[in-house]
Chain A
Amino acid sequence: MEISMKINGAEVTHDVEPRTLLVHFVRENAGLRGTHWGCDTSNCGACVLWVDGTPTKSCTMLAASAAGHDITTVEGLEKDGKLDPIQQGFIECHGLQCGFCTPGMLMTGRWILDNNPKPSEEEIREGISGQLCRCTGYKNIVDSIHWAADHPAENEVSA
């Protein structure tokens, strides 16, 4: 079936099997390989991207269900050649090692801050609790999201 969706603002159309998972559509059809997958069982969150601005595990959604919706992936975070503060925060605070969980963590981190510009440590920990990281023990991820909270981009509305 032919499926169209907006990915990072651009319309993407492909003819795929109805069973195609959104993560595969994004990776294989749209060629955006920043979104990963790690578990098959909706536990790990390596595949998190946004559907209409809401973080979603894209291994547990059919591409067909995403048709007509707005998808944002890690590739969509950088604007006008400038990293989003959440990306910068992960660099500053050593919030990643192997980098495999990072795209999903970034998408959720950005979403946490969009909804709660000054989150507590507990709120951040709760917010990323559906995403597994095997390298960092989460401490530096929490710090990275805090860093981004403390360094909002100029165009961010301060709340």
Chain B
Amino acid sequence: MQTPAPVDYVRATSVADALSLLQQHGDEARLLAGGHSLLPMMKLRLARPEILVDINDLDELRGIRIDGNEIVVGAMVTHAEILNSPILFEHYPIFREAEKVIADPIVRNKGTMGGSMCQADPAEDLSAVGAALRGTVVIQNAEGRRTVAMREFHEGPYETKVADGEILVEVRYPILPGSGSAYEKVERRSGDWAVCAAGACVTISGGVFSSVGIGIGAVNAEHFTAVDAEAFLVGKEPTAENIATAAQMAADSCDPSADQRGPADYKKHLAMELTKRALTRAAAAAKGA
């Protein structure tokens, strides 16, 4: 079977320790979280770090909690924990809907939010969710912490704002009282990466959309979102026609490429169809709808 290339291993005892280890080893070091993105790459020898800094002992990176008007999800929170979190489910059912279709139950036991987000696969689901929810990523380095909006987090496929010597420590999601949210995904088979996925989080007030967040994955949507479609809907009634128009705008803003998951025309169609479905369900779930 496939085996990783030789590598050194060290366990960090704290975030500060991890940061100092990263600093010490520079770009030859990689953080090891759940390992479900990194280790397969290492086995294929597509990744060959010289040293792994294991951060699984860092309890300070775990936990889902409410802090003021934000929900804070630690980087080392596993997908299974997100799936089963009552806090997240209460405020954002989109998490449960997305997590149910991320990989499989065993992978979700181990894979972490931070690991998934830093791997930054273009089809990564929590990136689409985070875009829809307008989350904020908290990154720590030797100098301290900085924040980056989810919608500015990605630099491109597999590239994020987390630089060498930095750790993504948590993501903060603003609580939107009365919001409705939903996630739609088409995959070739359960556990597969998305052919296309779309999430929506909306609030409705006075019969019109008061806020709209759209997240779209796997179809090369800029920053996993569709700002024109969002802007179009704000202030409009949640009618099928308005939602369809917005969904089409969202699809038009995507630039998918063909691969074995499907041709570009199909993926573009899915961007429309799934955005429409997610918006429709989110609108129906929003209080005041």
Please list the residues of chain A having a beta carbon within 8 angstroms of any beta carbon in chain B. Answer: 1, 17-19, 21, 24, 37, 40-43, 45, 48, 54-57, 59-62, 64-65, 108, 126-127, 129-131
Contact = CB atoms under 8 A, between A and B. Distances in A.
A47 to B, nearest CB: 9
Given A17-B6, A18-B8, A126-B105, A61 B110 contact: yes
B110 A56 contact: yes
B191 A18 contact: no
A130 B32 contact: no
A57 B103 CA distance: 12
Nearest to B104: A130
B52 interface: yes
B25 interface: no
Interface of B: 1-9, 11, 32, 35-36, 39-40, 42-44, 52, 54, 56, 103-107, 109-110, 190-191
Contacts of A40: 1-2, 40, 43-44
A129 B9 contact: no
B54 A55 contact: no
B52 A60 contact: no
Contact of A18 (B2, B44, B52): B52
B9 A61 contact: no
A55 B110 CA distance: 9
A113 B289 CA distance: 40
Contacts of B109: 54-56
A117 B6 CA distance: 43
Closest A-B pairs by Cβ, 10 of them: A130-B104, A18-B9, A130-B106, A40-B2, A19-B4, A64-B9, A19-B7, A60-B39, A54-B109, A55-B106
